[in-house]
A and B are shown apart, each in its own frame.
Chain A
Amino acid sequence: MDDLIVKTITRLIVPFIQLYGIFIILHGHLSPGGGFSGGAILGASIVLYSLSFGLEKASKKLSHEASSIIESAGILWYIALGLVGIFMGGYFLTNRAAGFPMGEAGAVISSGMIALITLGIGAKVASTMITLFHTIIKED
């Protein structure tokens, strides 16, 4: 736990891991990956941080309350996007018929609901991984 090499390498490498996770989430509709894989990578970066710096410092970076709020917000965002379809006169979770801006195929901001849902899933999976890990290693 108290190793200088591990701490220095972790401090160097964590921003790049998080950048890669965000890249995978944002390009979920264009390239392999998506909400689940990108969220797992984002969660793994915080897991790495809390393994090398200890639980206290890690929960200072991302507190338990904040991660549980992010988690609930992810699923509520998903349901809200589904309800937009009902208010626009379609079924639950319709995409093109509900009037989401479809954009141009191949652009980062395109394909309407898919990119937004991927964002929500990514935030939810990342916070779930972090909360599970922190809850399991707490105490003892």
Chain B
Amino acid sequence: MKKIFFMIVLAGLLILLVTSVMEMPGIGSIDNPAYNEVTRYYVENAITDSNAPNIIASIITDYRAFDTLGETTVLFTSIAAVISVLSLGHHHGHKNHNSEEKVEKQHG
């Protein structure tokens, strides 16, 4: 019952997405609004500005290097979060195990 309900709702969403996507300019047309003057500047001036043939490398580490610094901060934050979530419980677990063993020894 729940699955049928979700299927109907998501089919409606799919129709909405597909009909709106069909209004976009086709794949590969150079008139695509994403291919604007920023892209043209990068393609024409990357080699003279940064001496690197790889335009994407010169975008992510020269023109938008601050963005990449934020990206590495995201990685750093995620690893800090994972370590703090996972290592917290392990310490508690060890303490509990030790105390249980002590209790058993005292009883023994």
Residues of A whose CB lies within 8 Å of any CB of B are 28-32, 34-35, 71, 74-75, 78-79, 82, 92-93, 95-96, 102-106, 110-114, 117-118, 121, 124-125, 128, 131-132, 135-136, 138-139
CB within 8 Å for A106 and B53 given contacts A131-B79, A139-B90: yes
Q: Are B66 and A71 in contact (CB under 8 A)?
A: no
**Interface pairs (17), CB distance under 8 Å:** A34-B54, A34-B61, A92-B66, A93-B66, A93-B69, A95-B49, A102-B51, A104-B51, A105-B47, A112-B51, A114-B58, A114-B61, A114-B62, A117-B65, A128-B78, A128-B79, A136-B82
CB within 8 Å for A95 and B72 given contacts A34-B60, A114-B61, A135-B83: no
In the complex, what residues of A have CB within 8 A of residue B58's CB? 29, 111, 114
The number of residue pairs between A and B whose CB atoms lie closer than 8 Å in the complex comes to 96
In the complex, what residues of A have CB within 8 A of residue B83's CB? 131, 135
Q: Are B56 and A34 in contact (CB under 8 A)?
A: yes
Q: Are B90 and A138 in contact (CB under 8 A)?
A: yes
CB within 8 Å for A118 and B53 given contacts A124-B75, A135-B86, A138-B90: no
In the complex, what residues of A have CB within 8 A of residue B61's CB? 29, 34-35, 113-114, 117-118, 121
Q: Are B82 and A105 in contact (CB under 8 A)?
A: no
Q: Give the Cβ gap from B45 to chain A, nearest Cβ, in Å.
A: 11
Q: Are B51 and A93 in contact (CB under 8 A)?
A: no
B interface, how many residues as a size bin? Answer: 20 to 34
In the complex, what residues of A have CB within 8 A of residue B53's CB? 29-30, 105-106
Q: Are A96 and B90 in contact (CB under 8 A)?
A: no
Question: What separation, in Å, do the CA atoms of A113 and B60 have in the docked complex?
Answer: 12
In the complex, what residues of B have CB within 8 A of residue A34's CB? 54, 56-57, 60-61
A-B pairs, 5 with minimum CB distance: A29-B52, A111-B52, A93-B65, A111-B51, A29-B57
In the complex, what residues of B have CB within 8 A of residue A29's CB? 52-54, 57-58, 61
Q: Give the Cβ gap from A114 to chain B, nearest Cβ, in Å.
A: 5
The residue from A104, A118, A136, A139 contacting B57, defined by CB atoms under 8 A apart: A118
CB within 8 Å for A138 and B72 given contacts A105-B53, A113-B61: no
In the complex, what residues of A have CB within 8 A of residue B86's CB? 135-136, 138
